[in-house]
Every structure is written in C-alpha cells, then in structure tokens.
Amino acid sequence: MFEKAEELLLHSEDKMEKSVQSLVKEFQTIRTGRANPALLDRLVIDYYGVETPVRQISGISVADGNQLVIKPFDKSTLKPIEKAILASDLGLTPANDGVVIRLTLPQLTEARRKELVKDVEKIGEAAKVHVRNIRRDVNDALKKLSLAEDVEKDFLTEVQSLTDKFIKKVEEEIKVKSLEITKI
C-alpha cells in the first residue's frame, strides 16, 4: 500500500509539472507587441488533404523587433497560409509579395494590454484549477488505499505542499507574462 501511495505522489507531481509546462506554452502564443514565431504555433492549413502546422511547411523568422517573415518551402502554400492568418484570431494583416509573407505586429494600445493581462490571468486561473483537481483526485485515491491514519495524513500533507509549490509556479508565470505584456 505504501508503494502505491508513493507512486500516486510521483504521478501527481508529474501531472502538475505538465500543467505548468502547458501554461507556459499557451502563454507563448499570446501577442505582446514583439514578434515571436510561437505566435503561429496554432496556425494550420490544408496541405494536400492533411491539416499541417504552418511551422512545418515554412521557415519563420523575425525581421525587425515587430515583424515576422514566413517563407514557405512550397510557394503554392502562400495563399492558404495567407487565408489562415486572416481567418485566425491574431488580428494581423499579411503582406504577400509572392515569395514571403510579412506580418507586422502593431504596438499594443494600453486598453489592449489590460485586456491581454486579464486573459493571462484567466488562463492562469484555469491552470491553478487543473492543479487543484489533480490534488483532489490524488487525495481521493490515497483515502481509498486504507493506509494507517497517521501515514495517510503524512501523504495528504505532502500532496498539499506539492499543490502549493505548483500553484506558486503558476502565479510566477502569470506575473512574468503580465509584466512582459505591460512593458512598452
């Protein structure tokens, strides 16, 4: 029983770590006014009948601090990429010169920055809820193991300290991203 409890603890720590990593990855797709190829991570096009991420079929580079250049390996994908950008929630207008697509990121207004900070906080809160749900599931599983009362209490305390540690990590990530957005 004791080994099973330790296994549950390790598994929960792994799941909580993955939640934080997922949060960081999601934060990379939020526009901050500076060009970052990660903005296009969720952009996919129909490439010969297969939904393909734009990053896999093109080279993406940062030209200036606020401009992305997309150079497809196959020029026939220029139009589909352009359409995908227009249909996305990026709010950017692509400039297609027949060879590359340029995306110029405008400076964010103060109102837009505040809106993005609220979005970051909402995404961060969802990550905290996910971590707490992991804690709840592990606590329930530990209680079903019929451990001695003091051993069970020790494991529950350990799960709580793990939860606190990962909630703190999420809050740090929220703070870092919020500062990045508000910094001009």
Residue with tokens 């992305």: 68
Predicted local distance difference test score (pLDDT) of residue 127 = 96
Query: Between the CA of residue 41 and those of 11, 113, 133, what are the distances in Å?
Result: 28, 21, 27
For residue 180 the two structure tokens come to 């990045």
Taking the C-alpha atoms of residue 4 and residue 81, their distance in angstroms, rounded to an integer, is 50
d(CA 151, CA 157): 10
Beta strands (DSSP E) in 90-179 are 94-96, 101-104
Domain over 37-104 is classified CATH 3.30.1360.40: yes
Sequence ranges of the domains in the chain: 2-29+109-182, 37-104
CATH topology (fold) of 2-29+109-182: Topoisomerase I; Chain A, domain 4 (1.10.132)
**Which of 65, 32, 36 lies closest to 182 in space, CA to CA?**
32
Q: What integer pLDDT is reported at residue 20 of this predicted model? A: 94
Q: What is the pLDDT of residue 157?
A: 94
Best CA proximity match to 133, nearest among 158, 157, 167:
167
Question: Which residue ranges in the chain fall short of pLDDT 50?
Answer: none
pLDDT of res. 113: 87
